[in-house]
Structure 1
């Protein structure tokens, strides 16, 4: 059986999403420093809004790759075994690193709880969320493949649009659903819709479905990206401007100027529209990058994307390194400049650390990728 051609822009897309993650976390840190000025707040609002695509794009990539590579001889045991070695084991090792560095060696039960919920570090929630898609993939596979067979042509497009509308409606009832589950408590489920709602895969389902639709109709997806770019770029730019405006407006409080970015919480209806358009826009950027295969920016993004999972796990630690550099060398600069420099330090060192660990024995246990040939070809699978 012939293998499908590789999706050449997928690594660039991963690279962009990873850099956006580091950007968001750097902004979150520097928004609280006392040296912040209004101009810094405005610039960070712009950068933060533009970087909000990160999680939706990663979820989209998961759906795209799984369904693009899906075969009739699917074996759930092999599927989960691969995800355990590539994703869960590195996640558990990094959870232990972050837990020990914060709480010490004691209280194993607390570590197990944090490992299960992604609380060992602020960024690990994403792994807990995306693993729900992997664990339930057989159900997703049955449902989406059945719909794919039944709803062809315009009916499939209508079904996808309906799923998007339902998702937007769902985002308007996140709080209501949480309150209802509190009134009718169910072990685990109630917490998943309240305390841990931000890592409930149900609240990110449409980005996964978008990816599945793209993977099943990849050529049509590429044509949509090219044909409708004026529409989705207009939506993306317009809503990005709106969220920058309301974010900056929220700085003024009764106690004076206070920098916060609560307005750009992911699980909101209008934000969902922005994020849908951002997936299309960022995918278009990735395509543009790959058209010049010798361009330095494309090679850099591809290289980053290849090591993005290990770098994602490590970047919270390398941000701490950046904060140390900032404390001793960068205090004379503007807060925005400090944030961008520290972001670069964190992104670069986390990728380099992943490269090094991927080349040592058992390094895959730590970063999810093993490189035996330095001229590693780009991977498509997640």
Structure 2
């Protein structure tokens, strides 16, 4: 992996596969939340519970893929010399404004009449710090931390690359692999602490330490390995593409092994009900599963992009609208669930989950498309009102609103 002189920004190609990966990650998240809606219902049969639990492990890559993609876009489009004030202002407009508006919408939807009381307003104000009604919204303040830290992170990466050039005269595959293996081992250690030790540590220290440990999913440092992968992809794009395709067969083998092990770990804890928190992504074994899933998804996205056709066009469309779909899908799911919770679904929870996934994903993308063409696009989804072209959301330097989605 020999580093070539940087290409001028105007000459950079768009990273077409990013839009496809966005779509696949969005669908994984919608399926994950649809599973969560049905797997804990009292009338679910063991067979349906087991099937949903095993299906759940195919969704684990969703959220962390967006961390990876956000980093790719940042390091591909910008460097440490960017206008920091303008950069943060645009990022705030594209992600924080929609976050605030959707937090308010989810709060009103959930609290309803309670908003007429002081307690209701206190609960609503808390949502802007730790979202629970719009449970997926936690990701926005977390990823905004990456935007805030980007210039310093970019300077650190530049310093590391300069040091490697000084020592070795070239940055080879061996150097990058060694760094990633070291970071991976450190991250696995952090995940071990997070899953097995953090709760006890938080209880012993109390105070701010307990608060931070309790909300560690919202702290960007707990995703540093996915950020490191994104940096490597952005700085060595062509070699990265070659490598993920060459390593696909090995990654598939590792995925199968991890899937069997983690599935056994989940089911051995009991199926009445299944506890999906056992497979949290802040766990060492699930971390390995997610990484190999992400690499396989990247290889799949490259193949879909290469072949073109209906699948590519559909996923490009879904990826373009994925940010808005991400923001709205929990509300659509809540509306669908108001209907399904009145039904007796014994023996049909797997089918109901799949149907709910299809309805929620389709409706969320449709609503986002409508919002993007409305005068309120910038408020709801952080995008300017415009007619969507095939180039939007593809990565590279076009489509600021779409590139802000992580």
* TM-score (structure 2 length as normaliser): 0.86
Alignment of 1:173-252 (within 5 A): 173-174=193-194, 175-177=196-198, 179-180=200-201, 183-184=204-205, 187=208, 190-193=210-213, 195-252=214-271
Find the partner of 2:302 among 287, 298, 318: 287
CA drift of 1:251 comes to: 2.3
Tell which deviates more after alignment, 71-80 or 197-206.
71-80
Kept in 2, the 8 Å contact 1:9–1:286? The answer is yes
Alignment of 1:85 onto 2:93: yes
Residue of structure 2 in register with 1:261 after alignment: 276
Check whether the contact 2:31–2:59 (CA below 8 A) recurs between aligned residues.
yes
Distance 1:56 1:166, change over 3 A: same
Given that 2:39 and 2:274 are in contact with CA atoms closer than 8 Å, whether structure 1 keeps it comes out as yes
After TM superposition, the structure 1 stretch with the greater mean CA deviation from structure 2, 200-209 or 11-20, is 200-209
Q: In structure 2, what is the equivalent of residue 341 of structure 1?
A: 355
Name the CA distance, whole Å, in 2 between partners of 1:268 and 1:213.
23
Q: Which moved more, 1:262-271 or 1:341-350?
A: 262-271
Q: Which moved more, 1:222-231 or 1:103-112?
A: 103-112
Match of 2:136 in 1: 123
In the alignment, does 2:31 pair up with 1:23?
Answer: yes
- CA–CA distance in 2 between the matches of 1:374 and 1:203? 35
How far apart are the structure 2 equivalents of 1:224 and 1:286? 14
Could you tell me how far apart the structure 2 residues matched to 1:127 and 1:225 are? 28
CA contact (8 A) 2:20 2:319 kept: yes
2:61 alignment partner in structure 1: 53
Unaligned runs of 5+ in 2: 1-7, 165-170, 396-402
RMSD: 2.1
Query: Does the C-alpha gap of structure 1 residues 260 and 183 become closer, same or farther in structure 2, counting only changes over 3 Å?
Result: closer
Residue equivalent to 2:17: 9
After TM superposition, give the deviation of residue 61 of structure 1 in Å: 0.5
Whether the 8 Å contact between 2:44 and 2:345 is mirrored in structure 1 is no
TM-aligned CA deviation for residue 179 of structure 1: 4.4
Q: What residue ranges of structure 1 are gaps of 5+ in the alignment? A: none
1:143 aligns with 2:160: no
Aligned length: 375
User: TM-score when scaled to structure 1?
Assistant: 0.92
